[in-house]
Structure 1
Amino acid sequence: MKHVKADVVIVGTGVSGLFAALHLPKDKKILMITKDELENSDSFLAQGGICVERNEEDYDSFMEDTLKAGHYENRRESVDIMIRSSREVINELIDCGVEFHKKENGELAYTREGAHSKSRILYHQDVTGKEITSKLLACVQKLSNVELLTQTTMIDILEEKNQCYGIVARSADKTLFAVTARAVVWACGGIGGLYEHSTNFPHLTGDALAIALKHGIELEHPDYVQIHPTTLYSPKPGRRFLISESVRGEGAKLYNAKMERFANEVLPRDLMTAEIRKQMEIDHKPYVWLDMRPLGEAQIKTHFPNIYQKCLEEGFDVTKECIPVVPAQHYFMGGVKVDKYSRTTMKCLYASGETSCNGVHGANRLASNSLLESLVFAKRAAGQITKILETKETAEEENVQNALLKKADATKFLGKEELQKLYAESVRKEIERVREEAV
């Protein structure tokens, strides 16, 4: 088996993986891999925006909004870290060239989304994720110490006595190779590919979670899956196009089959989803109507140009008519259990972004907290890994790596379908357990 040596391996090229790479020492070799193309991460798909603590007076309401949306199952310490780190992260993004929408006087403009008590969300039209991720990717591509591999899938890790020493991966031509490293970061996204209807890319199938199960790495809340209440309805199969929550935050209305409002449009996502599903049952229709016309044509075309164009392609002019919307799988609040430094229960293995569960989101994610949470805790992972890299690799570590490489040569690794089945089965069992406890 081919052997590649790096200081750090990062699995995933979304905002979490990229931000971690940018905060690691520039004199260390960093290898980043992704299952698909660099632009095909869910980070690129994020529409609405990114939260930030506007000022000290905003702290209490930001905290309460996050806790309330998460049904108070959040880890308060993690939420505190995210909020207090938010302004610094935003400033770093701006330094990387990210352009947030501004008022005529040059000040940053803020919008509001569901379950937020006030406007605290920065945005770039309705493609905030693309703006942030593309700028971070450009910064990473300028680094001579970072190598990016596409069409490369992690299929296992190298571990001994609960310490991670690298990964085993499969390249586009199906060749297996091992990568030894002093630290590994799992930043490989969520589980949307396991669902028939999802806003996620189909290649995001919870591979890291299945590998965690195989090696006894602790997971947390694998049954906490968020459904986004408004995606563009289509009878065609495939990924669902998300209609950003900020559309409703700015004043769009929801109607039933009789064109009557039936719910508060800025409810938390899980409650909004429940209201829509209930109305769909009453109407005996596979969708409800979303009306963007109250926003006005000018705001629709300037703030939501991507949504406007996509709906046109599907035959709907949102400046003149309502569009059919339906809930679909969107986000994963559970994941690989990590602490406030993004450390998993295995030494030298870190997880951040949607792959991880650090407790920020609780049982339901507050809108536009995902990008912020991913960035904050990816940076914290990089800080811990930097401490590891400051110490010299020992002869014992090298001996273990060599032994693991020999072992890998003789190992039959799980395939894609086997990994997906392993994780999907664990989620099913967890949901059954929760239901039994609730009886």
Structure 2
Amino acid sequence: MYYDIIVVGSGIAGLYSCINAPKDTSVLLISKSDFLNSNTYLAQGGIACVLSEKDSFKSHIDDTVRAGRYENDIEAVKLMVTEGPLDVKRLSTMGVEFDKEDGGELKMTLEGGHSARRIVHHSDSTGREIAEKLLESARKEINISLAENTFVYDIKKIDDMFAVFVLGKNGKRDAYFASNVVLATGGIGKIYKYTTNSSIATGDGIVLAKRLGANIKNLSYIQFHPTALAIGEGERVLVSEAVRGEGAYLLNEKGERFMHKYHDMGELAPRDVVCRGILEEVKIQGSENIYLDITYKDSDFVRNRFPYIYEKCMEAGIDITKDRIPVFPCQHYLMGGIHVDFNSNTGIKGLYAAGECSNTGVHGKNRLASNSLLEAMVFSRRAAINIDIQNHSYKMIDADIRREGTSLIEPSIKEEIRDIMQKAYFVVPDMGMIAKGLSRLGEMIKGIEASSYIKDKEYYETFNMACVSKMVLEDIQKNGQA
């Protein structure tokens, strides 16, 4: 079937680009998993946005560039900061319920790296609220079709048209056609043992874009969040920056505050600084026991302000109104990705990228807290309204490739990839382990390609994870320390 626009990914960037597409176009939204399985849905803190007379665009721009270690594209930052407020206001008109003061004005919280209270939020489940309301809006648009549990395993460019090859829920192969494709496939968190990312974050869109000839930039610019709940393996619960914004202290094993030793903003320093401060404290004390403490605050305030975090910690036997929260850094966000211009164009006619899989230059080397949802809205909207719709006749392609292969790919390969990445690049790169990791990943990629594995979703995910991991380590090796 032919569409004007195919959007791959159902987080905020994918949904918002669909909603902003011209109403006289046909749009297909493809979601790898269920529509609400995304990093957007898991986002807690909120959206950074200048909506108060006490704040200013200049202040938000300065904070963003300072956090990004002055490697940001300043013009992209200005676009995001100045255009973003209109997008945030539009969310309210679409039913998103941001927390408000008794007088009706928006509540704004403070997070690390910000010099003013400018983060609007929906308790500590802002992403879930936005994702649900955007999905409701998309469902109401008659020009938007939705395909759930559909995995895009390849995209080919044929003249000025794209053939998008997919695996359906039952493993059936098919192909869709469009003159324009927007990649909004999210991050790469699942290449790490410990991540706050959802299960879909395997870097698929980045591999697809590279195969099409797009430029992949700064893939080693990975943000590690300093305060994930340090319990269990795999996906870890994020303990939002907003908890520190509301006054929580970081404590070492002895119960002492320590961040003042590493930055004059203390617990509210930019994320990369806090991560490095924690690791330095770990070296000093010879223990990974680090805690976040908000017990001195009113217990009703804590429960009402952070209901999701309270609930998740209670499931682990931790009452955050009475107990310290064990935390430790883990992988959180990708600043690099598919390089795009101010309209999210990749440089390949008709191919756009938005959200975490893209590299707009906004974040520089380190993302300022709560800028991610803002960036995703601004640049996905810009993509949608600047798409050049063209009509094509197209030829049907046989997408029903046989399930060649005799065996399923081993889950242990994914685990080995995660082990390599955790050892080679966790907050601070280990150049020796990077060299070893690159050698092994190269072997793995060749082995996967030459194998007799059945080419199902697990196969393609594993292959993509290995390719993205190799690109990350190559980027560090090429450019020096991340």
Shift of 1:44: 0.5
Spell out, residue by residue over 1:21-76, the C-alpha distance to the aligned partner (whole angstroms, 9 max, x if none).
Answer: 11112232211111111111110100011011125751111110000000010001
1:42 equivalent in alignment to 2:35: no
Which AA in structure 2 matches 1:213? K
Q: Which residue of 2 aligns with 1:339?
A: 341
Q: 1:106 aligns with which of 104, 107, 112?
A: 104
Spell out, residue by residue over 1:324-350, the C-alpha distance to the aligned partner (whole angstroms, 9 max, x if none).
Answer: 000000000000000000001211000
Whether the 8 Å CA contact 2:344–2:353 is kept in 1: the answer is: yes
Q: Which residue of 2 aligns with 1:79?
A: 77
> What percentage of residue pairs aligned between the two structures are identical?
39
Q: Which residue of 1 aligns with 2:413?
A: none
Shift of 1:309: 1.1
Whether the 8 Å CA contact 1:213–1:423 is kept in 2: the answer is: no
Q: Which residue of 2 aligns with 1:203?
A: 200
Q: How many residues align?
A: 422
TM-aligned CA distance change 1:432 to 1:164, over 3 Å: farther
Which AA in structure 1 matches 2:471? S
1:244 equivalent in alignment to 2:237: no
User: The residue matched to 1:231 in structure 2 has which SS?
Assistant: strand
Whole-angstrom CA distance in 1 between matches of 2:319 and 2:119: 26
Whether the 8 Å CA contact 1:251–1:294 is kept in 2: the answer is: no
Whether the 8 Å CA contact 1:273–1:327 is kept in 2: the answer is: yes
Whether the 8 Å CA contact 1:291–1:323 is kept in 2: the answer is: yes
Q: Which residue of 2 aligns with 1:434?
A: 479
User: The residue matched to 1:53 in structure 2 has which SS?
Assistant: coil
Q: 2:181 aligns with which of 176, 184, 188?
A: 184
> Hey, which bits of structure 1, 4+ residues long, moved more than 4 A?
406-414
User: The residue matched to 2:225 in structure 1 has which SS?
Assistant: strand
Gaps of 5+ in 1: none
Whole-angstrom CA distance in 1 between matches of 2:107 and 2:22: 34
Q: Which residue of 1 aligns with 2:171?
A: 174
1:416 equivalent in alignment to 2:461: yes
Whole-angstrom CA distance in 1 between matches of 2:401 and 2:168: 16
Spell out, residue by residue over 1:147-180, the C-alpha distance to the aligned partner (whole angstroms, 9 max, x if none).
Answer: 211211111112146x552411111112221110
Whether the 8 Å CA contact 1:223–1:430 is kept in 2: the answer is: yes
Whether the 8 Å CA contact 1:195–1:329 is kept in 2: the answer is: yes
Whether the 8 Å CA contact 2:72–2:361 is kept in 1: the answer is: yes
Q: 1:144 aligns with which of 142, 153, 165?
A: 142
Q: Which residue of 1 aligns with 2:122?
A: 124
Shift of 1:407: 9.2
Spell out, residue by residue over 1:212-252, the C-alpha distance to the aligned partner (whole angstroms, 9 max, x if none).
Answer: 22222101101110000000011x22200000001101100
Q: Which residue of 1 aligns with 2:89?
A: 91
Gaps of 5+ in 2: 260-265, 405-454
Which AA in structure 2 matches 1:199? T
Q: TM-score w.r.t. structure 2 length?
A: 0.84
User: The residue matched to 1:315 in structure 2 has which SS?
Assistant: coil
Whole-angstrom CA distance in 1 between matches of 2:166 and 2:111: 39
Spell out, residue by residue over 1:78-101, the C-alpha distance to the aligned partner (whole angstroms, 9 max, x if none).
Answer: 110111112211111000001111
Whether the 8 Å CA contact 1:15–1:374 is kept in 2: the answer is: yes
Q: TM-score w.r.t. structure 1 length?
A: 0.92
User: The residue matched to 1:343 in structure 2 has which SS?
Assistant: coil
Q: 1:19 aligns with which of 13, 16, 24?
A: 16
Whether the 8 Å CA contact 1:339–1:358 is kept in 2: the answer is: yes
Whole-angstrom CA distance in 2 between matches of 1:286 and 1:406: 54
Shift of 1:211: 1.7
RMSD: 2.0
Q: Which residue of 2 aligns with 1:300?
A: 302
Whether the 8 Å CA contact 2:84–2:377 is kept in 1: the answer is: no
Q: Which residue of 1 aligns with 2:414?
A: none
User: The residue matched to 2:201 in structure 1 has which SS?
Assistant: coil
